[in-house]
Amino acid sequence: MLKLRSWIFLAIAASLSGLLVFFHPPSAHSTPSNPKVLHAIERLSYGPSPGEIDRVRQMGVEAYIQTQLDPNSIPVPTSLSRELQQFDTLSLTPVELFRQYNPNAGKDASAEEKRRVRERSRQPWQQAQNARLLRAIASPRQLEEVMVDFWFNHFNVSGDKNLTRIWIGSYEEDAIRPHVLGRFRDLLGATARHPAMLFYLDNWRNTDPNSPQARGQFSGINENYARELMELHTLGVDGGYTQDDVVVLARILTGWGIDRQGERGNANNTGFHFYANRHDASDKVLLGTRIPGGGIEEVETALDLLAKHPSTAHHIGYKLAQYFVTDDPPKSLVDRLQKRFTDTDGDIRAVLESLFDSPEFWDDRYYGKKFKTPYQYLLSAVRATGTETPNFRRVLGSLQQLGMPLYRRSTPDGYPNTQEAWLNPDATLRRINLAVQIARGRLTDDKPIDADRLSQTFGNLWSDNTQQVLANSADNLKAGLMLGSPEMMYR
């Protein structure tokens, strides 16, 4: 890791100054004036904004954590609320979104009509992306935003799949966001019913092959969602289920589908509908538990079973520990989080309280050692400059260049959050280029970033190597060096 960190800084120094300078691999960071404060901010948020280190120091780390765990206690700035109001598609239901923004023009439509339909259908997608970035950068409810990204990634859907694109904002707004610090079972149920998930993983086609309705695209069992529901969303790949369990869960999920036009009498135009005439109503055995044949209640029973399973508690505990502590989390921490999950019936806030109170979380061996994903790196850089409303188009383009386009992970496993996945020479050079662009103001108002103000935002973060390079560099290079430094790449 040390050699890689040294390589990063060597590359940016050479890139910015045109000089080939050798730097010894940086040792541990020089001790920041408030290491515990900075550690809490880096892990519970997307990094410090101007003045934040002082604010957290004054209120106390424990108070900061408790406040972040209760986001409703944190007022949303009027300016942020006003900005969010412009994204009117976020308040639409899935049925309303389909009626107004269906990207599929009629087969008899002209080429120009099809172009207009496609262009209009991009509006919910663009608003969802901009709203996500705006909240992540400007909201004082930073832990809430971190958990929105965590859970969206856990229950990933890709906007590259036709109708999922118009529903992705609703999916985050209605299925993810309300439950990020609530009960896991509620989150599981909300994602299971949303049209974005049902369309993305094809369960809307899932039909009992013996049903009279089994024809065309509804010709039989589709296992896609059932498999990911166990492998990714609940039990984990080593969670103790078999292929027979996948098939049984798929049979339970038959008829669990979509009502795009809202023609089935469902309240609130959610877009969800259970098609009883396509459901396999026979008795089933899932994970050794008998589930009597019936209707929609079979799925609810199965979701209850999965949410309460010990493997689910372990899987979620491991992922949270990996995200907030280290790529290879200690077994002691994972076991503690698993127990807390089980004891509280999947209370996410309670599990996080245990995590943030654990000796492992506060072990200084992990301070500044968690490599940022491109999303985390870019947001932390923008926040550090004090910019609350950047050029969203340029930010989204930068995420694309860094290999992590927003809402576009094609596979259901979500983006990885480990160093192994993101630290390589090509990705590092891209970050270096981005650091230079941000320092020049390209993602904001095209005004160069003030290096002194940026340095104050970070506090005494820098290693001896970094401080030496900064001291020996021209003033117009310092902001880029800070944003591209090894310390900036880690949290």
What integer pLDDT is reported at residue 31 of this predicted model?
A: 56
Choose the weakest-confidence range: 36-40, 237-241, 389-393, 417-421: 389-393
SS (HEC) of the chain: CHHHHHHHHHHHHHHHHCCCCCCCCCCCCCCCCCHHHHHHHHHHCCCCCCCHHHHHHHHCHHHHHHHHHCHHHCCCCHHHHHHHHCCHHHHCCHHHHHHHHCCCCCCCCCHHHHHHHHHHHHHHHHHHHHHHHHHHHHCCCHHHHHHHHHHHHHCCCCCCCCCHHHHHHHHHHHHHHHHCCCEHHHHHHHHHHCHHHHHHCCHHHCCCCCCCCCCHHHCCCCCHHHHHHHHHHCCCCCCCCCHHHHHHHHHHCCCEEECCCCCCCCHHHCCEEECHHHCCCCCEEECCEEECCCCCHHHHHHHHHHHHCHHHHHHHHHHHHHHHCCCCCCHHHHHHHHHHHHHCCCEHHHHHHHHHCCCCCCCHHHCCCCECCHHHHHHHHHHHCCCCCCCHHHHHHHHHHCCCCCCCCCCCCCCCCCHHHHCCHHHHHHHHHHHHHHHCCCCCCCCCCCHHHHHHHHCCCCCHHHHHHHHCCCHHHHHHHHHCCHHHHEC
Please indicate whether residue 1 or residue 90 has the higher confidence score (pLDDT).
90
Q: How many helices (H) and strands (E) are present in the chain, helices listed first?
A: 25, 4
The dihedral over CA atoms of 361, 362, 363, 368, expressed in degrees to the nearest 10, equals 80
Calculate what percentage of the chain has a pLDDT beyond 70.
93
β partners of residue 258 = 272
Give me the residue label for tokens 């207009």: 116
Mean pLDDT along residues 373-398: 95
pLDDT value for 19: 30
Question: Beta-carbon neighbour count of residue 254 at 10 Å?
Answer: 29
Residues 6+ apart with CB under 8 A from 24: 6, 465
With 50 as the cut, is the pLDDT of residue 15 above it?
A: no
330: region left, alpha or beta (phi > 0 left; psi from -120 to 50 alpha): beta
| Distance of alpha carbon 407 from alpha carbon 386, whole angstroms | 25
- Measured between alpha carbons, how far is residue 342 from residues 176, 335, 338, 352, 451 in Å? 21, 11, 6, 13, 48
Burial profile 30-52: b = 16 or more Cβ within 10 angstroms, e = fewer: bebebbebbbbbbbbbbbbbbeb
Q: Closest Cα to residue 47, out of 457, 465, 479, 464?
A: 457
Read off the pLDDT of residues 260-301 as tens digits, 9 standing for 90 and up. 999 987 767 899 999 999 999 999 999 999 999 999 999 999
Q: What is the pLDDT of residues 182-214, one digit of tens each?
A: 999 999 999 999 999 999 999 999 999 999 999
* DSSP letter for each residue of 302-323: HHHHHHH-HHHHHHHHHHHHHH
User: Contact, 95 vs 260, CB < 8 A?
Assistant: yes
Residue 360 has which token pair?
A: 């492992």
pLDDT of residue 6 exceeding 70, the answer is no
Instruction: List the structure tokens of 353.
Output: 């309280």
| DSSP 8-state symbol, 261 | T
Q: What angle do CA 9, 458, 328 make, to 5 degrees?
A: 65
Please report the sign of the dihedral spanned by the C-alpha atoms of residue 467, residue 473, residue 476, residue 480: negative
d(Cα 189, Cα 215) in Å, to the nearest integer? 28
Secondary structure letter of residue 257 according to DSSP: E
The span from the CA of 65 to the CA of 54, in Å, is 15
**Can you tell me the mean pLDDT for 111-135?**
95
Model confidence at 17: pLDDT above 80: no
- Among the ranges given (21-25, 33-37, 119-123, 434-438), the one the predictor scored with the smallest mean pLDDT: 21-25
Mean pLDDT of the chain: 92
Give the pTM.
Answer: 0.93
Q: Give the separation between CA 110 and CA 112, rounded to whole angstroms.
A: 5
Contact present, 66 and 74 (Cβ < 8 Å) = no
In this predicted model, what pLDDT tens digit does every residue of 335-344 receive, in sequence order? Answer: 999 999 999 9
Of 105 and 98, the one with more pLDDT: 98
Residue 102 burial class via C-beta count within 10 angstroms: exposed 0-12, middle 13-18, buried 19 and up = middle
73, two tokens: 């206690």
